[in-house]
Amino acid sequence: QVQLVESGGGLVQAGGSLRLSCVASGRTFRRYAMGWFRQAPTKSREFVAAITWSDGSTTYADSAKGRFTISTDNAKNTVYLHMNSLKPEDTAVYYCAASGRGMTSGYEYWGRGTQVTVSS
């Protein structure tokens, strides 16, 4: 089992920045790739970014490239999503997830989410 707890969401003006955190725990969580997803009202959940604990490999959705950065602090068992140049369309609940089958699929553990609201 892997437990994930997100934090860091909030209200920010367009053009601003936020850093989301996800603390992971559980006996085997370092075997998993870690991803951030988001879900806006009336929309499906979408992939944002992912990273591996082992070598720090990353991948991003096109909407995140150039504005968002995913990183880990292995000593703190934490995954971060640094979000810059935020836009109103980034408003969503952001979820942290863990996958045992690579960075782009197989996400089986999920946090409860943290709300990000970007005002225009």
What would the two tokens of residue 3 be?
A: 């437990």
Contact 76, 4 (CB under 8 A): no
pLDDT tier for residue 9 given thresholds of 50, 70 and 90: very high
pLDDT, tens digit (0-9, with 9 covering 90-100), for 53-75? 988 999 999 999 999 999 999 99
Tens digit of pLDDT for each residue in 78-109? Answer: 999 999 999 999 999 999 999 988 888 899 99
Which of 30, 92, 101 shows the shortest CA–CA distance to 81? 92
What are the distances in angstroms from CA 62 to CA 47, 65, 103? 10, 5, 15
- What is the maximum alpha-carbon separation in the chain? 42
Q: CA nearest 48: which of 16, 7, 82, 77?
A: 82
DSSP 54: T
